[in-house]
């Protein structure tokens, strides 16, 4: 199966807490639309490593296989 387009789902990025705010600013600067993933109680979702997840809501990327070249 060949994937012809990326961007239908958020791209999860696991971030350590001390760099989270700086990364969010950088993601916003590059129009990556970062959203901190929350649990069902509205608190930041924490991974097994104790880090948070920022979901990047990217625009559609057509022909992603060309990025691999």
**Domain presence at residue 22:** no
Domain membership flag for residue 5: no
Q: Which residues form the domain of 37?
A: 29-63
Note whether 25 and 34 are within 8 A (CB).
no
Model confidence at 3: pLDDT above 70: no
Q: Could you give the number of structural domains in the chain?
A: 1
Give CA separation, 47 vs 2, 59, 65, in Å: 31, 26, 30
41 within some domain = yes
What pTM value is reported for the model? 0.75
Distance (Å, whole) CA 68 – CA 2: 14
Query: What residue spans of 1-69 are helical by DSSP H?
Result: 20-29
pLDDT per position as a tens digit, 11-62: 899 999 898 999 999 999 988 899 999 999 999 999 999 999 999 988 777 7
- Of all residues in the chain, what percent are helix, strand and coil, respectively (each to 5)? 25, 30, 45
Instruction: Judge whether 49 lies within some domain.
Output: yes
């Amino acid at each position: 199966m060949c994937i012809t387009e990326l961007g239908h789902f958020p791209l999860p990025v696991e971030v350590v807490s001390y760099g989270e705010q700086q990364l969010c600013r950088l993601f916003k600067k590059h129009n990556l639309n970062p959203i901190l993933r929350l649990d069902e109680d509205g608190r930041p979702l924490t991974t097994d490593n104790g880090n948070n997840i920022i979901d990047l809501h990217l625009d559609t990327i057509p022909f992603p296989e060309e990025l691999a070249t």
